[in-house]
C-alpha cells in the first residue's frame, strides 16, 4: 500500500540499532532494537514477537524490484486487470450500496476510488499476502535504504501488538502491509480506528478516513488536476498507480471509459 514520495530514499536511522545491507547483522540489530523497544515501554509480548522475526530475503527482493511501476499506463492497467476490477467494482457498488452510502456520508469519499484501491491492492480480498508481516517490517527497519521510515512502522506494529490489535503471526504482503486494502502499521494506528482490517467494511472505512485526512473534499473531482487527486497521490508515490486508481474509480462511479 502506502508509500508517499517522502518515504523514498530515507536516510539511515540514527537509532543505536545499526542498519545493515544484508542478513549478517540482523540478529545483532534485533537484540539492540529490542532493548530500545523495551526502554520505550513496549510490553513483553511485543518484544517476544520482535525476537521471533526473521530476515526476509523475499521482502528485500521485492523492495529492490517493483518493476510494474515502470510500465506505461496502458501496460500497468492491463497487468493489474483494470477491466475486471471495474466490472467487479460496479457489482460490489450495487450489492454493498448501504455500506458505501454510509462511508460516503461519513467521509465524503464516493465508492469508485475505494473500490479501485480495494481491487488494485488485494483483488477485493482474494490476495492478502503470505508473508510474515512483522518479519517483513523488521527486515525493512534493519535495511539501510529506508530504515527511518520502517523503524516508525515497526514501532507502530509493536504498539498494535501491545494493544492486542495485531497478531504477532499476522500474514501480509512483501512490505508488511495487511488487510483488505493493505495498510502499514502506522496507518492502522492513525486511520484504522482499532478495527480488524481483514474485515472489508473496516478496511474501506479506514481507507476513506485516510483519504479525508489527506485533503479529500466531498463532491470535488479526483482525476489528475482536480482537487482530490492530491489525496490519491498520498496513497501511493507511483504516478502510474495514482492515475490507474483515478481512471478505474471514474469508470466504477459511472464516468467515461478512456484510459488516459
Any idea what the Cα angle at residue 125 is, between residues 170 and 214, rounded to 5°? 85
pLDDT at 1: 61
Q: Which residues contact 186 (CB under 8 A, 6 or more apart)?
A: 152, 153, 156
The full 3-state SS of 74-111, as one line of letters, equals HHHHHHHCHHHHHHHHHHHHHHCHHHHHHHHHHHCCCH
The DSSP output letter for 222 is -
> Over its length of 260 residues, how does the chain's per-residue pLDDT go in tens digits?
645 433 444 434 445 789 999 999 999 999 999 999 999 999 999 999 999 999 999 999 998 876 667 789 999 999 999 999 999 999 999 999 999 999 999 999 999 999 999 999 999 999 999 999 999 999 999 999 999 999 999 999 999 999 999 999 999 999 999 999 999 999 999 999 767 889 999 999 999 999 999 999 999 999 999 999 999 999 998 999 999 999 999 999 986 444 43
Residues whose CB is less than 8 angstroms from the CB of residue 27 and which lie 6 or more positions away in sequence, other chains included: none
Q: What was the pLDDT predicted at 8?
A: 40
Catalytic one of 121, 177, 226, 258 = 121
Q: Which three cell numbers stand for residue 211?
A: 483519504
The helix/strand/coil state of 28 is: helix
Establish whether 36 is a catalytic residue. Answer: no
Whether the full predicted model's pTM is greater than 0.75, yes or no, is yes
What was the pLDDT predicted at 179?
95
Coil vs helix vs strand at 131? strand
Amino acid at each position: 500500500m502506502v508509500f508517499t514520495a517522502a518515504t523514498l530514499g530515507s536516510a539511515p536511522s540514527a537509532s543505536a540499532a545499526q542498519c545493515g545491507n544484508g542478513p549478517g547483522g540482523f540478529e545483532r540489530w534485533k537484540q539492540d532494537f529490542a532493548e530500545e523497544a523495551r526502554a520505550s515501554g513496549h510490553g513483553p509480548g511485543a518484544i517476544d514477537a520482535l525476537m521471533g522475526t526473521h530476515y526476509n530475503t523475499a521482502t528485500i527482493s521485492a523492495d529492490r524490484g517493483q518493476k510494474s511501476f515502470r510500465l506505461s499506463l496502458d501496460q500497468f492497467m492491463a497487468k493489474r486487470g483494470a477491466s475486471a476490477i471495474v466490472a467487479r467494482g460496479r457489482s460490489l457498488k450495487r450489492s454493498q450500496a448501504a455500506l458505501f452510502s454510509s462511508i460516503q456520508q461519513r467521509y465524503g469519499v464516493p465508492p469508485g476510488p475505494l473500490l479501485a484501491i480495494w481491487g488494485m491492492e488485494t483483488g477485493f480480498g482474494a490476495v492478502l499476502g503470505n508473508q510474515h508481516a512483522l518479519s517483513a517490517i523488521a527486515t525493512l527497519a534493519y535495511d539501510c535504504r529506508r530504515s527511518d521510515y520502517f523503524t516508525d512502522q515497526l514501532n507502530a506494529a509493536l504498539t498494535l501488538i501491545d494493544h492486542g490489535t495485531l497478531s504477532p503471526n499476522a500474514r501480509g504482503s512483501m512490505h508488511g502491509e495487511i488487510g483488505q486494502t493493505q495498510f502499514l502499521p502506522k496507518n492502522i494506528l492513525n486511520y484504522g480506528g482499532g478495527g480488524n482490517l481483514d474485515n472489508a467494511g473496516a478496511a474501506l472505512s479506514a481507507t476513506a478516513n485516510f483519504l479525508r485526512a489527506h485533503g479529500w473534499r466531498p463532491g470535488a473531482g479526483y482525476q489528475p488536476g482536480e482537487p482530490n487527486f492530491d489525496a490519491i497521490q498520498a496513497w501511493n508515490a507511483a504516478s502510474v498507480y495514482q492515475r490507474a486508481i483515478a481512471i478505474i474509480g471514474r469508470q466504477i462511479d459511472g464516468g467515461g471509459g478512456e484510459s488516459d
